[in-house]
Chain A
Amino acid sequence: MKDHQVIGNDKLQGIAVSPGIIIGKARLVDRSREKIVYQYLIDDSEISKEVERFKEALDATKEQIVTLKNRMSDQIKEHAFILDTHLMIIDDSMITDSTINTILDQKINAEWALKKSVRKIRQLFEKIDYEYIRDRINDVENVAERILRNLSGKEMESLFEIDERVIIVAHDLSPADTSELNTSKVMGFITDVGGRTSHTAIMAQALKIPAVVGLESVTSLIQDGTLIIVDGYIGEVIIGPDDDTIIAYQEKEIQHERYRSSILQLSHLPSETVDGHKIAIKANIEFIEEVVAAKEYGAEGIGLYRTEFHYLQKKKIPDEEELFEAYKEVVEKISPAPVTIRTLDLGGDKILSNNESPGEANPALGLRSIRLCLKERDIFKSQLRAILRASAYGQIRLMFPMISGLQELLDAKQILKEVMDELEKENVKYDRDIKVGIMIEVPSAVTLADVLAKHVDFFSIGTNDLIQYALAIDRVNEHVAYLYEPYHPAVIRMIRQVVKVAKEADIDVSLCGEMAGDPLCVSILVGIGIDELSMNAGGVPLLKKIIRSISREEAMADLQDILALNTAKEVRQFIEKRIEPLMPDLQEKDFYMKVSIDKSTH
């Protein structure tokens, strides 16, 4: 077995935004936005020349952008409007007239005058309440940067002209920059800044080249021509790898290719045990973009759509319309398969302003999740309205998190009913028969499952939180993290109890959380009789593979033995003996696990 651990090579961790592994030479591209511009006074006699110089820079910039636009490949043609907008900005009176007037009035150089115009525009934009309008300031700054380059006579190096196979290393790449990339030459790119949902990330996925962003200071650590490895699966960059590391990564990529082709063969086969028992495998997602991967990996729907992103992304609560659009897009993309949407599952400190936020000693046990929603009803109602409205466009199941007892559930359902009545009055379409369920993640809900089951259509066992609350350990706390143990006999008994109650009440029961994607846990869960598992999309194919190779009858027999075991260690050993023969290559397992666990958040 090859050791994937890298020793003696500099390894940087960033955010993986477009998958694949590439090994190649770094090409540093200077796209720094921090250019120093000096102010100097212009003699009266030279003023008209200075204006001319500015106008020439504008023309040169326009010409470059038109050239770029004409060279755009068909793959990214749909993004051409960005460049059209840039052309309009160059011609905009707030750039042209304003800068020229400043040169004339204050007798200063064009660079400084342009900076002043941009500053004025930025001040106006900062006051705009709507992020998607406010963010256009980035385009203005991008255009200004190009004009400045032309003023200094130093033409921006065109990414299009790169003619050897390289990996682009830059502080940031604008959409315009990305559109220039000649993908037959550029193997991929890495940047200091950027996030998972940045435009640059989306372009990289569209271009199907590996990319890692958010590496902070990679441009100062890498020199032009350095050999680097970019791992777009997990967001790693290795600078100056040695031969062993190169071979290890080449093997990893080959494995991944092999894995991908095996997925394509497997992903559309039914997920059923050798004795014909069906287990639905679904994907957990957080972003709309993940729906495509979920389908590609063969998920039979979205078992958990986490909705926190929209609340965290900005400093304010998203409005109903924005949420509706997002939910609608997800439901339409996955349709006819169903999506289970979990209502807001956040701590109060994340969304309330400082003086509203209670400042809790123990936030995990505090005002959060459904408790917060029941207190901040307007926030909750607006999300419920968005979910219900989206339910007109496909199959949505609604799920409340962190229910600890019946009263909370009844209160939440009462608010849901009020929202339904409102929509009814307004004649807004929604699915009147929408299935409503709860997460089982608080130990009291396990004990009370028979009572709760009478009021819901389904249970989803959230093992991440359930294990934490049941075993009283904070897995982020390094001193006790070792106690976080999915194989703990108490955890297995709790899951079994919930499933048993759900079956008796004849409601659906699924399991989401990392345990669902753990290949070693599958046979326990199948033995317990779970109907549905939901996990990170990357884990779906392996789980399907394992389910297709075990028998439910045997799993049920094993469960009896497992229930007789007293410690997590014994359970783990027992199960490893069972599952390992199904995965002849343990390295394969490690790799799958890494891919599937990589993205688990919250």
Chain B
Amino acid sequence: MEQIKRLKINNDLGLHGRAAARIVELAGQYSSRLFFKKEDHEVDGSSILSILTLACPKGTEIQAKAVGEDSAELMDRLTELFKQRFGEQK
């Protein structure tokens, strides 16, 4: 099972440390594997450092891919997390 979706980064600070930490935290709750791709650069979504190296400011769109049994639910919650600006106010 595989889910692919394009997600937009809406918070002012972009994919900074705390936002990346929220993603890693979420990914850790599922057995599915998570990947992010920006341009040709694909990284492991369970690695906070890899996510940071994507260097995404506000407004960047990245591709998320979840692979595994619970990938649908993971993708839903991930979409929500991006929409909620990683819990940041702006």
**A contacts, CB < 8 Å to B:** 81, 84-85, 88-89, 92-95, 121, 124-125, 127-130, 132-133, 136, 139-140, 321, 325
Contacts and interface: CB of A to CB of B under 8 A. Distances in A.
A133 B21 CA distance: 12
Interface string B48-85: 11101101011000000000000000000000000000
A93 B50 contact: yes
A133 B15 contact: yes
A93 B21 contact: no
Given A88-B48, A325-B12, A128 B21 contact: no
B33 to A, nearest CB: 11
Contacts of B16: 130, 132-133, 136
A133 B55 contact: yes
27 contacts: A81-B18, A84-B21, A85-B21, A85-B48, A88-B48, A89-B48, A89-B49, A92-B47, A92-B50, A93-B47, A94-B47, A94-B50, A124-B49, A125-B53, A128-B55, A130-B14, A130-B55, A132-B13, A133-B14, A133-B16, A133-B17, A133-B52, A136-B16, A136-B52, A139-B17, A321-B58, A325-B12
B47 to A, nearest CB: 5
Contacts of A136: 16-17, 49, 52
Nearest to A95: B49
Given A93-B47, A93-B50, A94-B49, A88 B55 contact: no
Interface string B1-43: 0000000000011111110010011000000000000000000
Contacts of A121: 49
A128 B24 contact: no
Given A133-B14, A133-B17, A88 B24 contact: yes
Interface of B: 12-18, 21, 24-25, 44, 46-50, 52-53, 55, 57-58
A85 B14 contact: no
A139 B12 CA distance: 22
Residue of B13, B16, B17, B25 most packed against chain A (CB within 10 A): B17
Residue of A94, A132, A325 most packed against chain B (CB within 10 A): A94
Contacts of A129: 55
A199 to B, nearest CB: 12
A89 B47 CA distance: 8
B23 to A, nearest CB: 10
Nearest to A322: B12
A321 B47 contact: no
Given A133-B16, A133-B52, A325-B12, 17 more contacts: A81-B21, A85-B21, A88-B25, A89-B48, A92-B48, A92-B50, A93-B46, A94-B49, A95-B49, A124-B49, A128-B52, A129-B55, A130-B55, A133-B15, A133-B17, A136-B49, A321-B58
Contacts of B17: 85, 132-133, 136, 139
Given A85-B18, A88-B21, A124 B53 contact: yes
Nearest to A88: B48
Contacts of B48: 85, 88-89, 92
A92 B23 CA distance: 13
Nearest to B48: A88
Contacts of B47: 92-94
Contacts of B14: 130, 133
A95 B44 CA distance: 13
Nearest to A319: B57
A189 to B, nearest CB: 24
Nearest to A117: B49
